[in-house]
């Protein structure tokens, strides 16, 4: 459900109101029953909800033809979950939703996870020192290396570095980090998107690709050697290319994904093309996890104005990838 004070409850309900979700999956909402009911009362044609009780069998509830099941993991008061006003109680709740989702996925009780947005600063204020979902899920799943792929109809981008200050980016860029990102991207394009020979472009860090070292040496000293090493391992990686023109070529289909050096380098073009409906996919953990590609939007929380396109696409992608994985296991 995400941050109870953000748009998470609203977009979860709006997404689930589309009958297609029930046709392709059996969602279990991990969140807060009271928050969802209060949010539901303010919506037109909201989905039907059933509150799961621990003494009930779960599967028959999930098979309900129209209603969606809520597993309530917190009991926040209206004051603790006021829209746009973060609270420690709400942050503790948001953390518990993620933790239980990871446990269910690791135990193979859940086939996939689709997450609504959290407030990173609110989680940190509540004592959870994680810069985002990706890092938290990496720890919960004991996965050494995770990356985030942002997906739209025209673009897929994977940043080497994530939620860190821009000033820290150059020293976090190592040949090893870039090679790991390329390997995770390559494997995910093959496994999740059935691309037999993925074409992966690599963005340069500096203007004009460093202009032969005039505008910076990272391309020569770090990025190009990492690309060369990846190609020796059979990964069809190309570049580094100047970022100011690369995304034009990627968006017209010349490449299957772009590995970017930092967060905004990839997310700016992704959101330019796919501001509504973009999806994040975590690469690395042993389970499928998708997410919206936006934040908690406190400025419109509680107003009913939130667009649920990204949430719906995240659920649909999670369901599709889970079906693919189940199909491979049955062969």
CA angle 169, 171, 176 (to 5 degrees): 100
The number of C-alpha atoms within 13 Å of 289 and in the hemisphere containing its C-beta is 28
Residue 300 and residue 245 share a domain: no
Residue 57 and residue 135 share a domain: yes
Does 78 map to a domain?
yes
Does 287 map to a domain?
no
CATH number of the domain where residue 63 is located: 3.40.718.10
Among 37, 261, 39, 298, smallest CA distance to 164 is for 261
Does 286 map to a domain?
no
Residue 264 and residue 158 share a domain: yes
Separation CA 185–CA 151 (nearest Å) = 12
Residue 126 and residue 12 share a domain: yes
pLDDT per residue, tens digit, the chain (331 aa), is 999 999 999 999 999 999 999 999 999 999 999 999 999 998 989 999 999 987 788 888 999 999 999 999 999 999 999 999 989 999 999 999 999 999 999 999 999 999 999 998 999 999 999 888 888 999 999 999 999 999 999 999 999 999 899 999 999 999 999 999 999 999 999 999 999 999 999 999 999 998 999 999 999 999 999 999 999 999 999 999 999 999 999 999 999 999 999 999 999 999 999 988 899 999 999 999 999 999 999 999 999 999 999 999 999 999 999 999 887 766 6
Please list, in sequence order, all residues whose beta carbon lies within 8 angstroms of the beta carbon of residue 244, skipping any fewer than 6 positions away: 207, 208
Residue 214 and residue 120 share a domain: no
Q: So what's the pLDDT on residue 331?
A: 61
Residue 7 and residue 97 share a domain: yes
CA angle 165, 257, 271 (to 5 degrees): 55
Does 284 map to a domain?
no
Separation CA 31–CA 216 (nearest Å) = 47
DSSP bridge pairs for 201: 238, 258
What are the φ and ψ backbone dihedral angles of 149, each rounded to 5 degrees? -100, 125
* Under 8 Å between Cβ of 284 and 169: no
Residue 46 and residue 18 share a domain: yes
Q: So what's the pLDDT on residue 325?
A: 86
Q: So what's the pLDDT on residue 132?
A: 83
Does 278 map to a domain?
no
Rounded-to-5 percentages of helix, strand, coil across the chain: 45, 15, 40
What are the φ and ψ backbone dihedral angles of 106, each rounded to 5 degrees? -65, -35
Residue 200 and residue 172 share a domain: yes
Which own/partner contact pairs does 59-63 have at CB distance under 8 Å and 24+ positions apart?
62/26, 62/27, 62/28, 63/26
Does 289 map to a domain?
no
Domain of residue 178, residue span: 154-273
Does 171 map to a domain?
yes
Encoded tokens for 156 = 């897929």
Q: So what's the pLDDT on residue 175?
A: 97
Residue 165 and residue 134 share a domain: no
Which own/partner contact pairs does 210-213 have at CB distance under 8 Å and 24+ positions apart?
none
Residue 12 and residue 106 share a domain: yes
Q: So what's the pLDDT on residue 329?
A: 65
Structural domain total, the chain = 2
The domain boundary residue, chosen from 243, 273, 303 = 273
Coil, helix or strand for 275? coil
Chain centroid to CA 181: 16
Q: Which residue has 């392709």 as its token pair?
A: 24
Which own/partner contact pairs does 62-69 have at CB distance under 8 Å and 24+ positions apart?
62/26, 62/27, 62/28, 63/26, 65/22, 66/22, 68/16, 68/22, 68/27, 68/29, 69/27, 69/28, 69/29
Separation CA 32–CA 313 (nearest Å) = 22
Does 116 map to a domain?
yes
Residue 172 and residue 99 share a domain: no
Please list, in sequence order, all residues whose beta carbon lies within 8 angstroms of the beta carbon of residue 69, skipping any fewer than 6 positions away: 27, 28, 29, 49, 50, 51, 52, 58, 61, 62
pTM of the predicted structure, to 2 decimals = 0.93
- CB contact burial 138-168 (16+ within 10 A = b; e otherwise): bebbebeebbbbbbbeebbbbbbbeeeeeee
* Under 8 Å between Cβ of 217 and 235: no
Q: So what's the pLDDT on residue 243?
A: 96
Residue 214 and residue 165 share a domain: yes
């Amino acid at each position: 459900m995400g941050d109870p004070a953000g748009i998470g409850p609203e977009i979860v309900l709006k997404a689930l109101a589309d009958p297609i979700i029930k046709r392709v999956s059996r969602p279990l909402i991990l969140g807060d029953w009271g928050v969802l009911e209060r949010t539901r009362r303010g919506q037109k044609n909201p989905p039907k909800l059933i509150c799961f009780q621990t003494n009930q069998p779960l599967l028959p509830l999930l098979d309900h033809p129209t209603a969606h099941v809520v597993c309530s993991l917190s009991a926040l008061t209206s004051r603790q979950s006021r829209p746009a006003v973060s609270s420690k109680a709400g942050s503790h709740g948001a953390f518990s939703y993620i933790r239980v989702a990871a446990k269910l996925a690791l135990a193979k009780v859940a086939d996939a996870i689709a997450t609504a947005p959290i407030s990173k600063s609110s989680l940190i204020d509540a004592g959870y020192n994680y810069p985002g979902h990706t890092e938290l899920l990496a720890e919960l799943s004991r996965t050494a290396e995770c990356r985030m792929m942002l997906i739209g109809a025209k673009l897929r981008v994977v940043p080497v570095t994530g939620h860190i200050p821009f000033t820290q980016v150059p020293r976090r860029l190592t040949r090893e980090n870039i090679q790991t990102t390329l390997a995770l991207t390559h494997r995910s394009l093959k496994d999740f998107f059935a691309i037999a020979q993925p074409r992966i472009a690599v963005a340069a860090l500096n203007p004009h690709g460093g202009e032969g070292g005039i505008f910076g040496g990272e391309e020569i000293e770090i990025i190009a050697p990492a690309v060369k090493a990846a190609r020796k391992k059979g990964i069809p990686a190309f570049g580094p290319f100047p970022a100011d023109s690369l995304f034009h070529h990627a968006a017209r289909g010349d490449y299957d994904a772009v590995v970017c050096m930092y967060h905004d380098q990839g997310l700016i073009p992704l959101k330019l093309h796919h501001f509504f409906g973009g999806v994040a996919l975590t690469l690395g953990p042993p389970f499928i996890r998708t997410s919206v590609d936006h934040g908690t939007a406190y400025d419109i929380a509680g107003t009913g104005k939130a667009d649920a396109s990204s949430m719906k696409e995240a659920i649909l992608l999670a369901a599709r990838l889970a079906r693919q994985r189940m199909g491979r296991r049955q062969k």
